[in-house]
Each structure stands twice: as C-alpha cells, then as structure tokens.
Amino acid sequence: MSSTATQSTATAPTSAGVTAFPSANPKEMQRVFDVQKRHFHQVLKVSKANDRIKLLKKLLASVERLTPEIKAALQKDFRKAPHETDLTEIMPSVAELKDAIRHLKSWMKPERVKTPVSLFGATSTVVYEPKGVTLIIAPWNYPFYLAIAPLTAAIAAGNTAIIKPSEFTPETSKLLSKLVKETFQEGEVAVFEGDHTVSTALMELPFDHIFFTGSTHVGKIVMAAAAKNLSTVTLELGGKSPAIVVPGANLKKAAKKLVWGKIMNAGQTCVAPDYLLLPEGKTEEFVKHAKDAVKSYYGDSAADIKSNKDFCRLVNQRNFQRVSGYIHEAVEKGGKIVMGGETDSSENYIEPTLIANIPDNARIMEDEIFGPVMPILTYKNLDEAVEKVLSKPKPLALYVFGSDSKAINKVLKETSSGGAAVNDVIIHLANPNLPFGGINHSGHGSYHGWWGFKTFSHEKSVFKQAAFSSIEMLYPPYTGFVDRMIQLTKKFFV
C-alpha cells in the first residue's frame, strides 16, 4: 500500500498550550488531491457494494486492532479515561461501521418513484451516486469518533477522503494518520496533520464535498471557503443546548442524567446540556440531587473528584482559561456557585460546577460553554422557559424532562433544534436510524447511518422514456389536435 500524505509529527506545546505543527504544504496537498480524483473516476465511481464493504471491513479491523493505542492516545491528549474512550469513541465508531456494512446493499439500490400519467410510458428512478473527492475536518473533543463516523459514510457512499485531524489532540492525530496509512491506499483515504493553515490550504482545493465538525465561528469560515469552489458542505456545529425541567418532573432522575451528560468528557461535548431551566423554587432540591450524582460518579469530596482517573481534563490551557473565565465573570456579575467551582490551571482542571442567579449579560449565557459548568435559570411558567430558548440561536440539541406529556409536547412544538430528547441527554445520537445534525447556527446537513450515506451521495434523477412517448403528441406545430390534447392533459392529468 502506498502511504498517506501527512505533515511531520508534533513539536513541543506552545505557551498557549496548543501544539505547534509545520506549515501547510500546498503542493503535496494538490498532488494527493489529484491522485484521489483519478482513483475516484477510475475505480470508486463505478464501485459495487461489495467493493465498498471490503474497505469498510478493513477500517473496522484496524479500529479493533488499534483500540489499545487509541485509548493511550486520548489518555495522553487530555487524560480521557479508557472506559470513556470505549463508550464515546470506539463503540460508536464500530457501530457506525457495522451498520454501514449491514445495510449498504439496500442503501445503494436505485429507488423507483412514481411517474405522472401525463408522462405515460416513462419510468423514473433516483440513483445514489458518490460525490467524489471529499474533505473531513475533524474536531478535538471526540477526535477519533468524529473522524471515523464521517469517513465511514464517505466510504459507504463511494467517495475518496482527505482527513484533517485537530492539532489540539496531537497524539490522536498521529494515531489517525497511522491507522489510515496502514489501512488504505493514498488514492482512497489520506491524512494531513497540522494547524489551521493546513485546513485553510486544503479548502482552496475544489473538493466535491466538505464535512466540518467544530465551532459556529469556524463553520462560517468553512462555508465561505467552500463557496469559492461551490463545494457542498455539511457543518456539524453546536450552540447552547438547553435542558428544560417541566413542573412535576422527577428531579432526582433528571439530575442524574443531566449531570452525567454535562460532565462526560469534562463537558466538551457538542450536545451536552449547556444551561438548565428549572421551575421557580426547585433549585435547592435539584442541586442536592446533582451533588449526590457527582458523588456517586466520582467520589465524596472535591479531592476525590480531582484525583479520580475517570474524570478527564480540558484539552489545553486556552480552553481552561476560557471556561474558568466564564465562571469568574458570572460570579462577579452576581452569579452564585451552588456546586463545585474549584479550578487548577496546572492540570487544566475544572470541577463539575453549577451556577445560579446568572445575569443575562454574562458571557456564560452567550457562548457555548464546552466545559463541566452549567448555569441554572428559573422560570415562572413554561411560556417563559420557551421564550428564553427562542431568544437564542437554534441549538444542536434540546432536552426536556418530565411526565406531563402536554407540557413536553408544548416545548417540542414551540422550539426548534437540531435534535431533541425527552427524559435523557446525548444518547439520541447513538441511534443510527435518526439523522444527527443542526439547524442554522448549529449546523447544516445531517449524518449517521443511512443519513450519512445520503449526505455523501448525490441523488441523481434518471428518467427513462419508452418507445412511445405521450409528450410527442404535444410537439409543434400547434394544431387543433395538439390544442385538444393540451386541454385534455391540463384537465385530467396535471
């Protein structure tokens, strides 16, 4: 196998806590792009289901073989616990691959659609053809899974792929480069490691599709760059995903799930509950249950939590400063820490934290937090809670807890979000039969399972005319007979 094109390995961390990489190499990027374009037209464009399944099985075997190294890489990058890596990186990657392998043949079948009577004699079909050479820009928060999941969809749909891993997780970046090099030919999949200059240089190329996972701010940059080449784009972004507890909800159960969803991966999850809306008078009870949940997960004391190897760290100093800054500013503006609050810059550590009495002008209520910190807001009636959600850009996820179906349906109908879950958090994305994606500020397009295959495919309409065509009776010259046929068609068949 020929090797993938990569930048050299990472150097020492910079003062900002971000690993430095060599600058981009546009000539090498162009060369690999051209190799993939040739391979796509010569091989992948006409590939059969079995050809793609072979590639998916090779990728699955590599993921399973390298699982210990994947765990070690994530442990080095931000002290992610091996069990959490299993649950949030390995298992979903394997599930995506197995789902694609299992269903690809049915996904690839042309879909026969109805043809109107006015076009009598013809047949109509939707054919799913691969888009071509694709670019996958992966994030740092789930650096393995969020590279492998879109790659699975790209391969299943018959495309080539160039992956740009995040420079913020250099060990995982190197691991992805190794995996791809050992699994694929350069014309099938390649990896370019590096900083933002690599992404910028790659986006100058006329990719047939760009798949980006990251912040809304960078998503706008990606979309603008893609527009220069009219590349289609999938943007998996984020936003402030709210959690609404409706009156009468079981606060103990809600707290257990919300705490888990908020502090998993130290809160660095695009669909983590970002802020909580509670009925007035329920804050104290909720906080009690939240504290109990944290104790059951990570230990009885602040020292226990900090020393627990299952609780990971913020990815780097820059993100630690950002999240800890949110806490300090919120307190300065009148917010009250009701759980946690301890930080340690030497470890990029932030204790699971709840803050009440948050003013609307605090930055923590404007930016996506991406850390183990959750503001608590209260509301007098459900209309007020819904209005709070509507006052912000549409989020990637929305969570509602309770047993009152009327109240739950009100929240779901009157708000808009990429996805929603009732009485749970995050795990809706584990169902491959549901599309996962955002709306407006939280993203464009969706993927997972069939939806990923569709995202990386072009839905080509194929119209086949039979020997006899009713339309020929409507050709010029427009005689009296043609006029009668037109009137007949308008009256009965249109």
Active-site residues, by number, are: 236, 270
Q: Are 177 and 6 in contact (CB under 8 A)?
A: yes
Long-range contacts of 33-36 (CB under 8 A, 24+ apart): 33/133, 33/162, 33/205, 33/207, 35/186, 35/187, 36/133, 36/160, 36/162, 36/186, 36/187, 36/188, 36/190
Counting every residue, how long is the chain? Answer: 494
CA 222, 226, 228, 229: dihedral to nearest 10 degrees?
Answer: 160
d(CA 170, CA 76): 9
Closest CA to 133 of 262, 23, 245, 231: 231
Helix or strand or coil: residue 354? Answer: strand
Which residue blocks in 79-156 are alpha helix, DSSP H? 82-85, 91-108, 145-156
Contact criterion met (CB below 8 Å) for 302 and 351: yes
- Token pair for residue 285? 């009870």
317 half-sphere exposure, CB direction, 13 A CA radius: 9
Given its phi and psi angles, is residue 459 left (phi above 0), alpha (psi -120 to 50 degrees) or beta? beta
Helix (H, G, I), strand (E, B) or coil at 269: coil
| Residue 278 β-bridge partners | 378
- Give the other-Cβ count within 10 Å of 433's Cβ: 10
Using only C-alpha atoms, the chain has a radius of gyration, in whole angstroms, of 26
Alpha-carbon dihedral angle through residues 179, 181, 184, 187, given to the nearest 10 degrees: 140
Output the CA–CA distances (angstroms, integers) from residue 138 to 29, 165, 282, in the order listed.
17, 5, 39
Signed CA dihedral, 256, 393, 436, 156: sign only: negative
